[in-house]
A and B are shown apart, each in its own frame.
Chain A
């Protein structure tokens, strides 16, 4: 039980991920699905970023000290930051594509509700 409380951050990331996944699977409206995708992406990103965090460390920009050796424990792990920084910009690009497709679907079918679109495709 103590280990569970000590790792409450993973509980919350998982909860955010589940909210996003549920919205993508079960919501009827396409914009809601896109919002779910956004939440899912940020849940993954926060998981990575929190892996890079270190107790008592500062931001990964080195102090100007060219002579002294740099001590790794003083700086947060920069690698997850790099990977996630590009992931965020890619996520806005995918959001743009998803919303464009939703807009196009609305032009074609006049609705954004999944079941109505399915009905129209099946000719009901």
Chain B
């Protein structure tokens, strides 16, 4: 913990938050939010939460900014001025915010001070995870072992939530058939020409294989270093999003078609649940991986847990990457899947 470093980043965070809320341009608000997420990732790294920071850098600063830009691109660049004042609503909102903030600050005086090793949250069940993860699962990254094994139920249903969100975005936006105005027009009536930059395309072409290799490394090496299924899945999805940004939606769909995306998203969740069911079939509890040593050749129950966690992470990565690509294609093409940003 470095006091002045934390303080400066926290101040910059607050500045970014205010700027994102009060800027008139929606595109700039999205970009400021991206900077906000990146600062947040920096702060979390400094607090020792490397896995969380990794996720935020991939998700908050990367993919969600692209979604935001896609929506701003298809709607309006600037907020419209109010036609008539709604001071009453603003004041009520401010009042509710102030009441909630005041109550939170009142409660904050009872919280333990920052980075106190003897605070209640660090005393109850967390020491068990740190002390026993090597003995139980042979996985040194405690975050991975808690995520995929000790609290595997949580993670399975989080993955289901993401699957549901992807399906909802698909159901809300997807339009079959052709767009009524296939040639988009700018505000002064001229058709938009597709801007393809040879530099961007070449760079993307070179980078994409490395990004995908790195994504696979992040998934496979999550047991020993920061990373895992969620981060690797988002990076894998981001590589396809990069293709979509540099080329167009058709290029992505040729490699990652719509039925394939839906199939992969479901396969990922099914792989996770299937490993759980396999444990039940062998006579243990749901997601109790130790029993899998009976079917995995040459493994002790401890190593069986480690291997099953890798399987679960792969399932998560498949599902998350498919959902990210699906949400991008739907928001970038307004559901028509014909042309993107």
Tell me the A residues contacting B by CB distance below 8 Å. Answer: 3-4, 6-12, 14-23, 25-29, 31-32, 34-36, 38-39, 42, 45-46, 49-64, 66, 69-70, 72-73, 75-86, 88-97, 99-104, 106-107, 111-113, 115-116
Q: A35 with B122: in contact, given A59-B48, A89-B230, A102-B75 (CB under 8 Å)?
A: no
Asked whether any CB of chain A lies closer than 8 Å to the CB of B278, the reply is no
Q: Out of B47, B320, B330, name the residue touching A53 (CB < 8 Å).
A: B47
User: In the complex, A73 Cα to B119 Cα: how many Å?
Assistant: 11
Inter-chain residue pair count (beta carbon < 8 A):
301
Asked whether any CB of chain A lies closer than 8 Å to the CB of B248, the reply is no
Q: Contact between B147 and A82 (Cβ–Cβ < 8 Å)?
A: yes
Asked whether any CB of chain A lies closer than 8 Å to the CB of B271, the reply is no
Q: Contact between A22 and B93 (Cβ–Cβ < 8 Å)?
A: yes
Q: Contact between A52 and B47 (Cβ–Cβ < 8 Å)?
A: yes
Known A-B contacts: A14-B108, A116-B83. Give 10 more (CB < 8 A).
A14-B105, A22-B21, A31-B75, A39-B21, A51-B119, A54-B122, A56-B117, A76-B48, A89-B230, A96-B64
Asked whether any CB of chain A lies closer than 8 Å to the CB of B155, the reply is yes
User: In the complex, A8 Cα to B71 Cα: how many Å?
Assistant: 36
Chain A residue at smallest Cβ distance from B122: A77
Secondary structure call for the B interface: helix
User: In the complex, A20 Cα to B21 Cα: how many Å?
Assistant: 8
Q: Contact between B158 and A90 (Cβ–Cβ < 8 Å)?
A: yes
Give the residues in chain B near A102, CB-CB below 8 Å.
71, 75
Q: Out of B47, B51, B76, name the residue touching A50 (CB < 8 Å).
A: B47
User: In the complex, A22 Cα to B154 Cα: how many Å?
Assistant: 31
Tell me the B residues contacting A by CB distance below 8 Å. Answer: 1, 6-7, 10, 13-14, 17-18, 20-21, 26, 29-30, 33, 36-37, 40, 43-44, 47-52, 55-56, 59-60, 63-64, 67-68, 70-72, 74-76, 79-80, 82-83, 86, 89-90, 92-94, 96-98, 100-101, 104-105, 108-109, 111, 113-117, 119, 121-122, 125-127, 129-131, 133-134, 140-143, 146-147, 151, 154-155, 158, 161-162, 165-166, 168-169, 172-173, 224-226, 230, 234, 320, 323-324, 327, 330-331, 334
Give the residues in chain B near A15, CB-CB below 8 Å.
14, 101
Chain A residue at smallest Cβ distance from B1: A55
User: In the complex, A4 Cα to B105 Cα: how many Å?
Assistant: 9
Q: List 15 A-B contacts (CB under 8 A).
A: A9-B10, A25-B92, A31-B71, A35-B29, A46-B43, A52-B126, A54-B115, A55-B116, A62-B140, A72-B122, A85-B147, A97-B168, A99-B70, A100-B331, A112-B75
Give the residues in chain B near A63, CB-CB below 8 Å.
140
Q: Contact between B172 and A97 (Cβ–Cβ < 8 Å)?
A: yes
User: In the complex, A116 Cα to B84 Cα: how many Å?
Assistant: 11
User: In the complex, A50 Cα to B115 Cα: how many Å?
Assistant: 7
Q: Contact between A79 and B125 (Cβ–Cβ < 8 Å)?
A: yes
Q: Out of A6, A31, A78, A84, name the residue touching B142 (CB < 8 Å).
A: A78
Q: Out of B10, B63, B79, name the residue touching A92 (CB < 8 Å).
A: B63
Q: Out of A18, A27, A113, name the residue touching B100 (CB < 8 Å).
A: A18
Give the residues in chain B near A76, CB-CB below 8 Å.
47-49
Q: Contact between B44 and A46 (Cβ–Cβ < 8 Å)?
A: yes
Q: Out of A4, A22, A45, name the residue touching B97 (CB < 8 Å).
A: A22
User: In the complex, A53 Cα to B36 Cα: how many Å?
Assistant: 21
